[in-house]
Structure 1
Amino acid sequence: MNLEGRKIVVNKSVKDLVEMLKNPADYKDLMPDSLQKFEVRDNGFKFSLKGMPEIALQIEDVTETEVILKSASSSLDFTLKGAMEAVNENQTAVQLLFEGKFNPFIKMMVEKPLQNFLNSLTDNIEKI
């Protein structure tokens, strides 16, 4: 299952954005309003949103063009990528890409909430 957030432009340089996204604590500011719990963990974080189970993510890789978060749970196999491209030295184009390997039943249950989550993250990234 692949989902895409809309492409946005952030008024930060790629370097500043990458520095921010290396720090697990900084993800709390990007979470939706329905955030109920946020806990920084070793190279990642765990969070829960209203009406959803806890999700643990690890920062797997951070490069000059993308940040890759991976599920810390072996029962859920997915990645969330933030693809970044410099527009100029003070602006960066960003798009969130979700890639998950779910059975058809799970996909049917999580597709809409995940798309809403991506949209909310995108909105919050746009505000920074």
Structure 2
Amino acid sequence: MNLEGRKVVVNKSVNELVEMLNKPEDYKNLMPESLQSFEVRDNGFKFSLKGMPEIALTIDEVSDKQIVLKSASSSLDFALTGAMNPVNENQTEVQLLFDGKFNPFIKMMVEKPLQNFINSLTDNIEKL
């Protein structure tokens, strides 16, 4: 299952974004208003939103092109990638890409809430 957020331009350089997104605690500021809990863990974080199960993510890859967050749970196989493309020295285009390997039943249940989550994250990234 692949989902995409819209492309947004952030008023930060790629280096500023990489520095920020390499710190698990900085992801709390990007979470939707429905955030119920947020806990920083080794190289990642765990959070829960109203009406959704708890999700644990690890920061898997950080470069000047992308940030990849992967599921810390062996029962859920997915990655959330933030693709970054410099517009100029003070602006960066960002797009969130979700890639999950789910069975059809799970996909049906999670597709809409996940798209809403990605849209909310995109809105919050745009405000940076």
TM class, shorter-length? over 0.9
Deviation at 1:77?
A: 0.1
2:110 corresponds to 1:92: no
Deviation at 1:112?
A: 0.1
1:60-83 per-residue CA deviation (whole Å, 9 max, x = no partner) reads 000011000000000000000000
- Give the superposed CA RMSD: 0.2
Q: Which runs of 5+ in 2 are unaligned?
A: none
SS in 2 for 1:84: strand
CA distance, structure 2, for counterparts of residue 23 and residue 65 of structure 1: 17
1:5-53 per-residue CA deviation (whole Å, 9 max, x = no partner) reads 0000000000000000000000000000000000000000000000000
- Map of 2:23 onto structure 1: 23
User: Identity over the aligned pairs, expressed in percent?
Assistant: 80
Deviation at 1:108?
A: 0.1
SS in 2 for 1:26: helix
- Map of 2:113 onto structure 1: 113
Q: If the length of structure 1 is used for normalisation, what is the TM-score?
A: 1.00
CA distance, structure 2, for counterparts of residue 56 and residue 70 of structure 1: 8
CA distance, structure 2, for counterparts of residue 64 and residue 4 of structure 1: 20
CA distance, structure 1, for counterparts of residue 85 and residue 17 of structure 2: 11
- Map of 1:2 onto structure 2: 2
CA distance, structure 2, for counterparts of residue 87 and residue 27 of structure 1: 23
- Map of 2:57 onto structure 1: 57
Runs (4+) of structure 1 moved beyond 6 Å? none
- The number of equivalent residue pairs is 128
CA distance, structure 2, for counterparts of residue 81 and residue 70 of structure 1: 9
SS in 1 for 2:82: strand
CA distance, structure 1, for counterparts of residue 30 and residue 12 of structure 2: 15
SS in 1 for 2:29: helix
